[in-house]
Amino acid sequence: MAGWGQPVKDHWSAPHFDSYGFRRSELKQFADKLGLDLSIPLEDVKPTQLSDVESKPLSEADVEILKMEIDTLKKQVRKLESERPILINKFREDDPLYLAIKIRNQEWKNYDPDNDRQTRGNQTAIVKELEDKGFSNVQAKSIEMVACPIKR
Instruction: List, for residues 105-114, the tens digit of each pLDDT value.
Output: 999 999 998 8
Enclosing domain of residue 120: 96-147
In a domain, 115, yes or no: yes
What digits encode the pLDDT tens for the residues 24-61?
777 788 888 877 777 777 777 777 666 655 567 888 88
Upper half-sphere CA count for residue 128 (Cβ side, 13 Å): 5
- Is position 6 within any domain? yes
Q: Which of 116, 118, 125 is nearest to 150 (CA)?
A: 116
- Phi/psi region, residue 150 (left: phi>0; alpha: psi -120 to 50; beta: rest), is beta
The pLDDT value given to residue 89? 87
The answer to whether position 52 is within a domain reads no
Do 1 and 30 lie in one domain? The reply is yes
Q: Are residues 38 and 8 in the same domain?
A: yes
Q: Please work out, in degrees rounded to the nearest 5, the angle formed at the alpha carbon of residue 46 by the alpha carbons of 43 and 49.
A: 160
Q: Are 100 and 143 in contact (CB under 8 A)?
A: yes
Domains held by the chain: number = 3
Mean pLDDT of the chain: 82
Domain presence at residue 61? yes
pTM of the predicted model over 0.85: no
One domain, residues 32 and 61: no
